[in-house]
Amino acid sequence: MKYLLSLSKQNLKLSLFEALELLDVKKYELNENFLVVDINDKNKARKDTFEKSKSTKDTPKKEILNIFKRLAYTNYVDEVLFESSLKDLVGKIKLFNWQEHYSTNFCVRTINIEHENEKKYAGIIWNKLKAPKVNLTTPKTLFVFVKADAKIYATKLLWKNPKTFLKRKAHLRPALHPSSLDPRLAKACVNIAVGMKDIATAVKNKDKIKGAEVKDNRSKTTAKITMKTSAEITVLDPFCGSGGILIEAGLMGFNIVGCDIDKEMLIRAKTNLRHYKIKKFSLELHDALKLNRQVDAIVTDIPYGLNTKPVDIDKLLKQFLKKAYLYTKQMIIAFPSTIKYRKLLGKWKLKKEFEYYIHKSLTKRIILVGR
């Protein structure tokens, strides 16, 4: 099944990487800000798991939908019904079985195609439906024709991002602190650090099993894949401040641990986490360099305050990177873009980096490091 994701243009590199990491796809088409992926390209373990869930024409596979719902920098996701050139489009609309994809009522929208075509396409579709009803404001079925470069995608809306993270911006939280990461960015960082491939890692049995049975090609035996649920994955922010990253990871259901050397910050984090009804969390008062537990992923934003000299940040980053290597396999870390970080990486391999503009005197660099 092909899906079209409308990526946020706010930071296209970040939007694309978040989607690819979370969906764990390698092959894709990107036309402008429209990403088209074929979920059947997935690895065997994931495919088997998806295919176990029954789906009908009206209820897309729940698992896939649940993954899409985690995305921060995707504005909406459509199911691709067919592809066409502009020249062949009307002919293809006339031939297509719209009834199979229709429920209750419908509306047609066009993107990058002249607006008056909406009525024309809707008219043809209307004639192809058994008992059509139109709903222009809250349609149950929204057919969208998207033109991206020379291609037209005929699609059906599957999920629209409710952007609830906007309500969690730092100034709207009960315990405010200006150093907190933007919630949309924090959510994307968690998604990148803990992509679906990490949740649905194909590992031989023994541990807790939540997944489907799959054939293990090397041993020719049937092994079980360990589908770790979110609650079994621990995400740590060792410089947690007032809890911006922890809130997003907590709302996604991960087991969250935060630490900070400032007690006041931990009090703020606790107030904020409780405000968002996150019940299970662990907050620890200690230096991040005293890290002493294994975690699935670290997502963090190192201190960059006015009182911290750049040379101290370099030293702290270097020492922290060295320490963290002992306790996790994957880490996403943000720091001011002025830091020359490559020489500080030690054994870590750089997987991806982004720049993220905060304000005129601060741009952050965000790096994903792994083994």
Ligand X SMILES: C[S@@+](CC[C@H](N)C(=O)[O-])C[C@H]1O[C@@H](n2cnc3c(N)ncnc32)[C@H](O)[C@@H]1O
Chain positions contacting ligand X, by CB under 6 A = 179-181, 186, 237-245, 259-262, 265, 287-289, 301, 303
Nearer to ligand X, 162 or 178 (CB): 178
Give the residue closest to ligand X by C-beta.
Answer: 244
CA distances from 366 to 92, 148, 188, 239, 313 (A): 44, 29, 11, 15, 15
Nearer to ligand X, 234 or 242 (CB): 242
Nearer to ligand X, 226 or 272 (CB): 272
**Minimum distance from residue 332 beta carbon to ligand X (Å):** 11
**Minimum distance from residue 371 beta carbon to ligand X (Å):** 24
Nearer to ligand X, 70 or 268 (CB): 268
**Minimum distance from residue 360 beta carbon to ligand X (Å):** 18
Nearer to ligand X, 132 or 336 (CB): 336
The helix (H) or strand (E) run that includes residue 12 is helix 12-23
234-237 and 255-260 strand pairing: parallel
Task: Find out whether 57 and 100 touch, Cβ atoms under 8 Å.
Answer: yes
74-84 and 151-160 strand pairing: antiparallel
Q: How far apart are CA 60 and CA 84, in angstroms?
A: 23
Q: How far apart are CA 8 and CA 302, in angstroms?
A: 26
**Minimum distance from residue 352 beta carbon to ligand X (Å):** 19
Nearer to ligand X, 111 or 358 (CB): 358
**Residues paired with 366 in a beta bridge:** 334, 354
Cβ contacts of 121 within 8 Å, gap of 6 or more = 90, 93, 108, 110, 143, 145
**Minimum distance from residue 286 beta carbon to ligand X (Å):** 7
The helix/strand/coil state of 333 is strand
Nearer to ligand X, 336 or 370 (CB): 336
**Minimum distance from residue 158 beta carbon to ligand X (Å):** 30
Nearer to ligand X, 223 or 316 (CB): 316
Instruction: Extract the runs of DSSP E, i.e. beta strands, from 201-242.
Output: 213-216, 221-224, 234-237
Nearer to ligand X, 63 or 301 (CB): 301
Nearer to ligand X, 280 or 290 (CB): 290
**CA 211 centroid distance within chain:** 21
**Minimum distance from residue 192 beta carbon to ligand X (Å):** 15
The helix/strand/coil state of 151 is strand
**Minimum distance from residue 182 beta carbon to ligand X (Å):** 8
**Minimum distance from residue 175 beta carbon to ligand X (Å):** 10
What is the radius of gyration, based on Cα positions, of the chain? 23
Q: How far apart are CA 300 and CA 317, in angstroms?
A: 11
**Minimum distance from residue 334 beta carbon to ligand X (Å):** 8
Sign of CA dihedral 348, 335, 247, 358: negative
Cβ contacts of 126 within 8 Å, gap of 6 or more = 132, 134
**Helix, strand, coil percent values for the chain (each to nearest 5):** 35, 30, 40
Q: How far apart are CA 230 and CA 316, in angstroms?
A: 30
